[in-house]
Structures are given as C-alpha cells and as structure tokens.
Amino acid sequence: MYFCPLSASMTDCERVDIEEKSVPQKNIIEDMWLGVTIASQREQSGRGRVLACAHRYTEVLWAGSEDQRRMVGKCYVRGNDLKLQLGDDWQTYHNEMCNSNTDAEETGMCQMGTSGSFTTNTIYFGAPGAYNWQGTNYMLQRESWELSDFSYPNHKNGNIYIGYTIQASSAVLHKENLTIISGAPRYQHTGAVYLMINRFGSNLETSLMLVGEQVGSYFGSAIALADLDNNGWQDLVIGAPYYFERKQEVGGAVYVYMNEAGSFQNQPSQILKGPSNSAFGFAVASIGDVNQDGFEDVAVGAPFEGSGKVYIYHSTSGGLMELPRQVISGADLGPFKFKTFGYSLSGGMDVDGNSYPDLLVGSLSEKIVLLRARPVINILNKTFTVTPSLVDPAKCNPHSCIRVQVCFSYNQSAGDPRYKEQINLLYTLEADRDRRPIRVRFAETNSAVYRGIFSMPDTKCQDLELLLLENIRDKLHPIALHMNYSLEEKQRDFQLGLYSLNAYPVLNEDQPRENHTEINFQKECGLDNKCNSNLQLTAAFVPEQGQLLSRMNGTQMLQYSRDVKKLHLSVVITNTPTTKANGEDAHEALLNITVPPTLLPSSVRPSGACTFEETVLCELGNPFKRNQKMELTITFEAIGITLDTREIMVELELSTLSYQEDLRPVWAELLLDYTIHPTLSVTPSQVQTYFSGTVVGESAMKKEADVGSPVRFDFKVSTKGEMLGSLGTIILGFEWPYEIPNGKWLLYPTEILIGGNESRRCQPPGDVINPLNLTLLDNVSSPRRRRELETALHTELPITLAAAKKARSQAQLSCALGTSRCIWIECPLHDTRTLTTVSIRARVWNSTFIEEYSSYDRIKVEGQATLFLRTNVATINMKNHTVQFIVDIDSELTEEQPAEIALWLVLFAVGAGLLLLGLIVLLLWKCNFFKRTRYYRLMPKYHAVRIRQEERYRPADGFLPRKHKKHWVLVIHRRVHAGACAPPEHDHAPPVKRHSRHCWQHLWAVIACHPPPQAVLRLPVGAPHLPLPRSCCRVLLLPVGACCAPPSLWGQVVFMPSGTCQHSHSTLGQISFLLTTSSNISL
C-alpha cells in the first residue's frame, strides 16, 4: 500500500509500513494482496481513518508433522497520517472475523477483505469464500466503548460469492438504520444483490434481493450508492460487466434502481449499456455533484474498451441521463500509455479545494489518475431583443429597419461570489436559417449570419442592425433569428501539479446553448397577425365526351374502351370561411398533382395556370383571397390505360404558407370497369329422336353408332371488345344429363368441337367425353368437311318418326327434378370476338331406354348450358347467360306405308263413278247443254262495269285474281217490278227503259281462278236475248260459300254498251271487261 502527495512529481509515492511480520509457522503475508481493498472514512476533521485489506492473508495450522493453511484474509486500519496509533481501538483491533480452525465448509477459507469500507461508527467487510464460497458479510459497530459484530449466517447456498462487493449506508431501506448491500455475482449464474439489515441478535437478515437477468453477466460485481434524484434516499447502481448482446454489439451493462422511499422495484428503472468487449460496468462509483446542479453524478468504468474509458453520467430529477455527459479515454491523457484505464474508481472528494469533487481512476498499468473537476459557469440573461417585433416593409430603408440587442452574464455553479474570471463568449446570430432565399441581412456583415465575441464580466450588451431585402415574396412567415454561443477555450500545455483551474471553466452542459426569436410582418390576417386559411379541394374525372361517370361506393367508374384517348380532371379550389377564425388569405397557395404513369398531362384550362414537369404544379395565387374560388380542368392523354389497368389514382395536395392544419392529400380515384356483353344461342333448342332395337352391353360397343341414335346441339357464342388474355377466360359450361339415378347411361357425349377462327376439340378434365373411347364417325385420320359430316348424319337414318303418332305416356328426365344425374363440362373459349360455334355431339344410350323406359311413348331429357366469365379481376364483369336444350326420345319408329284397300271396294267405286257420270251427261243433254246457238255470235260487244271503291277487289295483275285467291260467284238477277228498271248506281250509266219480258231470274256461275286466266259464265240454252244496253242486270261477286252474306259485302258490276267505255274510263274505280256474243263471258 502506497500513499502519494498531490504534487507534480511522479516518484514521490511512499510505501506504507503495516508493521506486520511473517511467521511461517503461524501466518503467511507473502502474496496476501494487501491493498485489494482500500477505503477512507471521509471525515474532513482530520480524524478520518484508512482501511486496507489483504484477502489472501493465510493462517498456518499444524496437525502433527503436516501444516494446514487457511486463507482467511485480514484488514488493517490506520489513522489519517497512515501510521499505527496504539491508542486507537479501531487500529489495534485484530479485525480477523473468520475462524481459521474450521475448514472451507465454514470460514476456514473466507477471504475476508475482498471488499470493505467505513462509516462513521461502523466498519464492514465482505468474505466471499466462507461456507463453501457461499460468502458472508461482517459488520463491526462501535457505540461509545461498546463493540458489536454482526454476520450473515450459513444458508448452505455454496458458490454464489456473497460479499464480493459491499456497501453500507442509511436512507436505503430505513431513513436512519444502516443497510448492508452486498453483491453475489454467481447467484444462479446470473448474479444477485442482497440488501441486509439487523433486526435482532447478531445475524444479518436478507430484506430484499435483486436478481440479474442474463447468465454469466456477473450482475452485482460492482455496486454504488448515490442520491440521483435528490429526494433524500440512496439509489442503487449495479454493474454487470459481462452482459452482452451480439446483434446490438453490447458489452457490459449498468442497472439503476431508483429508491422509492425505502423500497425498490424488482425490475430496474434504467439500464445503461456499453460497447462490445468493453466490460462496461466493471467499476461504478458515486462521484458527488460534479456540476453542482444539486444531483449526484455517477462514473462507470469500461477498462477493456481500447486502453480503457470512464463514462461520466449526470443526474436530474428523473434519474441518470441516458447519454453520458463526458467520456474520458486513457489514450487522451498525455504521453502515458494506459491499459485497463477505469479498472477501479473512487470519487466524491474535493482534493484541490475548488468546491467541485474530483475523481481517482485506477488501472493495471501501475498508474493512477486524479481527474480534477473544472469550474462550471452558468450563462445568465442569454436573451436578445428585436425592435420592432412587427415590421412594416414600407417603413424600412437601406440603412435601418430592425435593431437586435444581445445581452449575457454568468455565475459559478458552485455559487462562489469571488469567482470573477475574464472569459470570452463566442456567439452566432443567424437569420432565416431554414429558408431560402433569405429576406434580411446584417449591416455589419452584409449576410444573414453574424459572429461576435462577448467578453465577461465587463461587457453587458451589444446592438446590431438587421436590414430587409427588396422584392421579397414571403411576407407571411416570420423571420426566425437564431442565436447560439460557446466558450472560447484557452490554449494550455499539458502539465502536472495542483495548478488552479479557475481560468479554465466549462459551460453548464445542462443549459441550452441556443435561443431564438421571431420577427413578424404586418399583414391583414386578423388581430393576431396570423393567417388562418381554409383551402378546400374537390376533384372528379370527366370523360372526353363530357358525360357523367357512374359511381360505386363513392368511387367513379369508367367503362374501358380502346376509344378512350383523353381524360379530363376537373378540380375546384375554394377558400370559404366556415368559422370566424378561418378563411383568411392563403399566401403562396399551390396545388401539387402527382400523376400515375398511365396518364400524361397535356393541357390545362385556364391556360398557363400549371406547369408540367415531374408533377403538375399549379399556382393558385399569392395570396388566394378570402371567398375566392378557382376551377381547373387538366387534360391527360390516356397513354397507359389497358385492360390490365385496375384503377387510376391521382394525388392532389394543396399547400400554403398560411396556417391550416387540415391540409392533407386528396386522391382522385377512377376504377376501370370492363363489362362483356355476350350472346348465346342453341340450335336446335329441342331435338326429336328415338330408341329401338335390343339391349347391347357396354363392352360390345365399338363404334358410336352402336350406342344409339345421334343427338347434336350447336351453341353460338359471340362477344365484342378486347381479348382478356391472362386476365380471365370465358367458359361455356354444360349441365349434361349423363346418366339416370341408377347409374345407367343416358346421353353419351362423344365429341365437343369448337369452331370460329380455329377448329379444335374441347377436352374437359376427368375423361367425361367419349370415356369408352368409341370409334367416331369423323375419324381424325380422315378429316371431312362439315357439310359431309352433316350429310352423313342425315343419311344415317332412312326412316322417320310416324307423323300421326301421339305420345300417350311421357317421362321427364331432369337434373333439377332429380330424375337424372348431370355432369358439369367446361369448355374455355379463347377468342369470341367473332361468332364461335361449339358443337356437342352425343348418342342416346339405346339399351338404357329399352330396359328402363320401354313402357313410355316419349321421354323428355332436359339439360342446360351456361356462358360465364372466370377471372380474378374485380373490374371485369360479365352476366351469366343460360340456355336450355331438350331431347324428345320416342319409343319406336314407323314408316309411312300406303293403306291396303280391298279389290271389291275398288271395283264398286269404279262402277258407281261411271253410273254417276252417265246421269250427269243425261241431265245436261235434257237441258240443251250440248246444243249450239248462233245468236250469241252476232251480239254486240260491251265493256265496262263500275264497282264501288270501298267494296271492290283489286287484283295483282290484269283482271284475274292470283292462284291463292278464293273462288268467286257471279250472280245475275232481274228487277221483278213492273215499272222501269232501276237506274244503275253510278253517275255515268245511261238510263234504260222498261223491258220486263227480257229480264231473267237469278243465275249462278262459278268463276274459276285456274289457268287459263279468264272467267267463264255459261248461260242456259234458251235464255232471253235482250239487248244488254237497255238491261237492268247486275253482276255481283261473292266468295264461295258466302252466298248468305249481306248485300253490303257484294261487289256490283253494271253492264254498259261498249260505246260508253271511253267515258267510263275516267271514272274512279271502274274496271272494263269484254262481253262476247257467245255464251261465254270473259272477264
């Protein structure tokens, strides 16, 4: 053990003689490590004592001819002059607490003195080797002339090293009573700290135990007590130097437990961590209030960080600061080469008398370092004033505008009024530091930055002139004026010794070194001179045609089309007040529009309102006035809108220099919707076929013709628009009646062909098409044209269904009714922009119908086909289309055979016909039908009749009705009254005289519409031959079988002489015809 005077010499340290002699037969003092623990009683009266321990001090015991050595340890107490004073009981007491007559299971290897220290009336030691290295603590307490000793008993908890470190103080668990704090760094391999008190007897009892969290961290190997928050209670600082975190590169930790009026939480209040491989926390010490701010500070050693470092942490009312206020490296201490600087720490004493506690740092380099604290000064009145605080640019001139006054003063943090050292304070003033371009400059420097020197304690204030630049735009935001300062460091050479540090003060690091003020412009924004705008924005897309877009959940929808070339974005910006406190002028109002790659901005209305660069930037006004409204229409070229485009998002963001908190981006969103409009039809929708023959097994069928009669449906599909590609597939699905409920075949599908631009087969998964692999009619090896295939299908069946057959009993097979089973068949259609035909061919399974439905005359089989879209894109839509198809299957086929008639019936019919013919001829002969008359050859020819327009029949060509018209009846009758004949019912007919003997009764004749195109009227032989010009006869035309129709439906024809034809031709609705002199009347 050495003592060293505070001098500049490095060789004036002297060894302290403990006056202990080594007696090999009794004790061994060689290698006892005297000085492993050194402590001071810290009494300023000069009566303080020093404790020095040697934990490897060994007692020798003899058992016969063999010696047994007990490493019990020993501590020595000396006075303030480090000499033995025999009159002091503290120094003459042997201080050997361990019983060397016991073995390691007791206290025979206790190694007392590994740790220890003093209080005013108490000395305490740690003995980590006692009780099989469980460890124990010893405490000697002197009250007047009475000496009491206390120890921690054996709890048979070996190898935890209680007493490895030890501290004692009041105001820990009790305000007055002493508490022993002892570390056990190997407790459960994580470490622990015991807080012990003496309740009764001579035993120390555990009142609280704090446990480490990481195995091997050596938690509790270093302990310090300090009142960090200045609440009168001692807080606990515990080191865990071997704590590590590999990913965060942490090596060592310090746990801080804040004292809560005599209690501690089980979890630390704070954890400080050091760099990797530094052993941060190997030593911790309370160093007193270094900066004299009223809170005790802490030093933490990291001896393996480089050459070793010591971290200085200041405290506040909330505890230790998270970051160290100062880091002292052994490599920075002059020309000395240190290793493990910070291995041990001791502080809290002012050795140079400047009112600031100093710090002693040990190392394993045979060197110790005394770090003296420099005076700390507080800067007072660190303010500056600006006149005027509200600037009117109109009142400024090139030489004067704003006056800035800066004032400083200081005091010593320790409160020594005699401290009047001359110091220089460097300060910097900077205007518009965060704004470009700047708006002001200092007259002294012609720039916005001024740097000056302030000497204290002589100078009190300094005045500066700040000038306003011309043509500034931003008159809304205030001019920010920042000031920061620092202490001018005096250059000094490295020297040893107790020279005064008063000329080398430091600034209080806890004080902010920066201050700022603001200079406002005079503006019309209310009494507070603060503009509160209320900019609002609405935006909507408008198609090129200008029609309104539909919305879905509030979002606009655009129907996709290749014809969409342009899109317009209509934007409306307003600044309308909603309260008394908003809607004021918006200075430098801007609209920033971020456009997606699918759109290219091309123009804007009004012209010149926006610029097109990476974004669209629109200047709305400076300022944008109260109640102002602005409408913008921005036109975009739709360069990137494709069927893959799901949505278009345009971000619009308003900005202003005025105050408005609710300015947030607005998104103009446009969803693209693509609706497919398909058509689906089936030809034919209903097919009639048959079943007949005998039952044939499934294994006996080789060709499709063996199954039964054929069935074919053609489905025609078409869509308009774009090909979907990978975005989706249009699928034609069939609900095909495959089998009956008992599993027998129903309609056996043989082939599905897809036509259109390409012809291909549809092969759904699951082997559902032609699962028996039957030979088809259109073999792939010999492809045939479609017309040939249809011809083959039609010529396959030479017989037809009986036309007169009526289904007396009928069965309905439908999947919906459960009378048949269906399978689902899907055929994807890749390109349906042109008409695509999907043909499905099948065969009626003849055997099933013979076995199950032979008692029915007709079986109706129903199925359906559905056209749908399969896609994962929500904006592509298509409504499903479903068509039904029906197959009517009759139970048998019959050929139309002529009916067989008996021979006798034929002969009888021939004879009856000849007899009837003879009777007709005889009757005609009796009526002079075969007798010629020459009179009619000489009769004059007449033309013309008139038929009322609303009752006449107008033939298509000439005077003859077409073949499809009905037969007509010509009726000729006479007026039977005795007077003159009634005049005809038209204006041009000449009057006729009475000639009743020449009028005849009704005669009927049929006018045939068969070729030749003429109608013939045969008059009976011997009919009166009166001159037709004076006749009162009329020709009435009636449909066959309508002789009983009312006269209003008759068409009338009046005969006139041929000489009047030229007059009657001008009459509307007249028809001319020729009367010959023969018995034939040609129309």
Return d(Cα 811, Cα 816) in angstroms, integer.
Answer: 14
Residue holding tokens 């018995």? Answer: 1079
Query: What are the structural domain ranges in the chain?
Result: 218-245+278-373, 377-490+502-521, 535-675, 679-777+800-890, 903-932, 935-1082
Distances (CA, A) of 1014 to 559, 1053, 1057, 1076, 1083: 68, 17, 21, 13, 6
Burial 970-1008 (b: 16+ CB within 10 A, else e): bebbbbeeeeebeebebeebeebeebeebbbeebebebe
pLDDT tens digits for 312-346? Answer: 999 999 999 999 999 999 999 877 888 999 999 99
Q: Residue 648: what residue type?
A: I
- Residues 326/331/336/340 CA torsion (nearest 10 deg): 90
Q: What is the structure's pLDDT at 644?
A: 77
Return d(Cα 292, Cα 943) in angstroms, integer.
Answer: 149
Q: What is the structure's pLDDT at 737?
A: 95
Q: What is the structure's pLDDT at 216?
A: 95
Burial of 813 (0-12, 13-18, 19+ CB in 10 A): buried
Instruction: Assign a CATH topology to domain 535-675.
Output: Immunoglobulin-like (2.60.40)
Q: What is the structure's pLDDT at 845?
A: 92
CB atoms under 10 Å from CB of 540, counted, come to 15
- 377-490+502-521 and 679-777+800-890: same fold? yes
Tokens of 957: 């060509």
The CATH homologous superfamily to which domain 679-777+800-890 belongs is ntegrin, alpha v. Chain A, domain 4 (2.60.40.1530)
Distances (CA, A) of 600 to 175, 547, 606: 78, 21, 18
Return d(Cα 417, Cα 82) in angstroms, integer.
Answer: 36
Return d(Cα 953, Cα 965) in angstroms, integer.
Answer: 11
Return d(Cα 262, Cα 267) in angstroms, integer.
Answer: 15
pLDDT tens digits for 119-160? Answer: 888 999 999 999 999 999 999 998 877 889 999 999 999 999
Tokens of 217: 């961290």
Number of H helices, E strands in the chain: 7, 70
For 377-490+502-521, CATH number out of 2.40.50.200, 2.60.40.1460, 1.10.600.10, 2.60.40.10 equals: 2.60.40.1460
Q: What is the structure's pLDDT at 270?
A: 96
Return d(Cα 397, Cα 305) in angstroms, integer.
Answer: 61
CB 137 within 8 A of CB 154: no
Q: What is the structure's pLDDT at 954?
A: 53
Return d(Cα 110, Cα 135) in angstroms, integer.
Answer: 7
Distances (CA, A) of 710 to 3, 641, 777, 815, 887: 122, 49, 11, 21, 11
Q: Dmax of the chain from CA atoms?
A: 198
Question: What residue ranges of the chain have pLDDT lower than 50?
Answer: 779-807, 894-896, 936, 942-944, 951-953, 956-1083
Show contacts of 813-816: CB within 8 Å, 24+ apart. 813/737, 813/740, 813/746, 813/859, 813/860, 813/861, 813/862, 814/737, 814/861, 814/862, 815/735, 815/737, 815/862, 815/863, 816/862
